[in-house]
Amino acid sequence: MKLRIPNILTIGRIIIVPIFVITFFLPGMYGDLIPFFLFIAASFTDFFDPSEGRMGVVVSFIAILELLKESMIEIVQSKPYGPIYVKANS
């Protein structure tokens, strides 16, 4: 079986669910933050719906660029080939 992007996204979500449930019951602040970020990671995959195809990815990318142009978000990358962080401007 050849793994394509939709299959990889689905497998990733299946793996995230038990981790989410286990970390949800952690005491203290970690029980709040870890499930939150896991939920955000799983939700981010919905942003690129495979049924939309390439046009959906292009439109999503253009929407991000539009938010950047309007100064509603800020995109930061601290070093070349490093992680890219997106944060909302206040």
Length of the chain, in residues: 90
Beta strands 73-77 and 84-88: pairing type? Answer: antiparallel
* C-alpha to C-alpha distance for 65 and 46, rounded to whole angstroms: 18
**Strand segments (E) across 1-90:** 73-77, 84-88
Each residue's pLDDT tens digit, 59-81: 878 888 888 888 898 888 888 88
Average pLDDT, integer, range 24-37: 87
The pLDDT of residue 18 is: 92
Q: Which pair of tokens denotes residue 37?
A: 């970020």
Separation CA 59–CA 7 (nearest Å): 22
The pLDDT of residue 38: 87
**pTM of the predicted structure, to 2 decimals:** 0.48
**11: which residues sit within 8 A by CB, 6+ positions away?**
3
Give the residue, 57 or 14, on which the prediction is more confident. 14
